[in-house]
Amino acid sequence: MYGNDFSAPGDAPDDMPGAGLLGEVEAAEAELRAAAARERRGGPAPDEDLAAYFTEVVDAEQKIEPRDWMPEAYRRTLIRQIAQHAHSEIIGMQPEGNWISRAPSLKRKAILLAKVQDEAGHGLYLYAAAETLGISRDELVQLLLDGKQKYSSIFNYPTLTWADVGAIGWLVDGAAIVNQVPLCRCSYGPYARAMIRVCKEESFHQRQGYEILHTLAHGTPEQQAMAQDAVDRWWYPSLAMFGPPDGDSTHSTQSMAWKIKRFSNDDLRQRFVDMCVQQAEILGLRIPDDGLRWNEERRAYDYTQPDYDELMQVIKGNGPCNRERMAHRRAAHADGAWVREAAAAYAAKRADKREKVAA
């Protein structure tokens, strides 16, 4: 059964990261197909209460589709969440993109370039999913550029060494997968389907990051130090990716009822910690937490919480790279304006010509 199979340390069948999570993505995909095959009854009756029908579909683990009636707040919540996710994919290209030109071997350069390209693809699927809710990609991009919508705070930290590329793959993509695997079962069909595709690729990213760290951790003393330093810097920001502790989280309860969210922030954070401890041991790298120890009673690791005041500062715009990330995106958008205008003008001329030929 999904939801109670948090892997306990030592019983993961495969020491490669992401293996168990990938199985869950596949299970969610099978479930999605099964739900589609079950078919919902053919829509609400003419005099039926639309809200009751919506609730019935969600409770029956069927998918809400773009044509369906949905509560306005459900639509708004999804737009906000999917857009924020899409923006994160696009802004998230920057920290790793920072190392493409300096990747230390041609093979690593190719893998990194392909990874950053995947993130652009994730952004596109997610904007497309958001568009099914009645808002355009251009509008969403403008909201990002105007600072009215957020992206994940993790991308406001700098990539200072090559090992940061490994740490981002292992920890940041790892945390993203733990967060996103439950979204493969989200009640909104287009989002669930996009997440299945995204999660499969994220699991490759995590594996690649793990491999980078593994190579460094088994390399020269300088490489080992570089790897440990990267884990030291990325560990707590990665824990903070799961959001504020449950008591302080503003959006959780309603999202749980709508089956947009399935687990609390703290549950997901715990799951991530438990997954990483074992992998860190294989890597030969130390998780920078003196409070980390197995709790037999809870069947989980006790760990030190990230600094949530720092998280709030970064969300407010005061992380090390917030300004640079936004300036970079705004500059790319502004510098490309003449190109987009030219493409539109060219397309209009062509359409004109075709019309004249037809007339």
Shortest CA distance to 170 belongs to which of 125, 219, 128, 205?
Answer: 205
Contact pattern for another protein over residues 48 through 87, marking x by CB under 8 A: ----------------------------------------
What residue has token string 């992206």? 151
Q: What DSSP assignment string belongs to 60-112? A: TTPPB-TTS---HHHHHHHHHHHHHHHHHHHHTHHHHHTTTTT-SSHHHHHHH
Residue 96 binds to Fe ion (criterion: CB under 5 A): no
* Nearer to another protein (CB atom), residue 52 or residue 331: 331
Residue 289 binds to Fe ion (criterion: CB under 5 A): no
Residue 85 binds to Fe ion (criterion: CB under 5 A): no
Rounded to the nearest whole angstrom, what is the least distance from the CB of residue 354 to another protein in the complex? 15
| Helix runs in the chain, H state only | 19-38, 50-59, 72-91, 93-97, 106-131, 137-145, 162-167, 173-180, 189-217, 221-240, 252-257, 265-283, 308-313, 322-335, 337-358
Rounded to the nearest whole angstrom, what is the least distance from the CB of residue 147 to Fe ion in the complex? 22
Shortest CA distance to 157 belongs to which of 318, 341, 352, 347?
Answer: 318
Identify residues 313-342 at the interface with another protein (CB under 8 A).
Answer: 328, 331-332, 335-342
CB 260 within 8 A of CB 85: no
* Nearer to another protein (CB atom), residue 20 or residue 97: 97
Candidate list 24, 202, 274, 289; residue touching Fe ion; CB under 5 A: 202
Pairing of strands 300-302, 293-295: antiparallel
* Nearer to another protein (CB atom), residue 90 or residue 184: 90
Residue 355 binds to another protein (criterion: CB under 8 A): no
Residue 351 binds to another protein (criterion: CB under 8 A): no
Residues interacting with Fe ion, by CB under 5 A?
89, 119, 122, 173, 202, 205
Residues interacting with another protein, by CB under 8 A?
90, 93-94, 97, 100-110, 113-114, 116-117, 120-121, 123-124, 162, 212, 215, 219-220, 222-223, 328, 331-332, 335-343, 345-346, 349
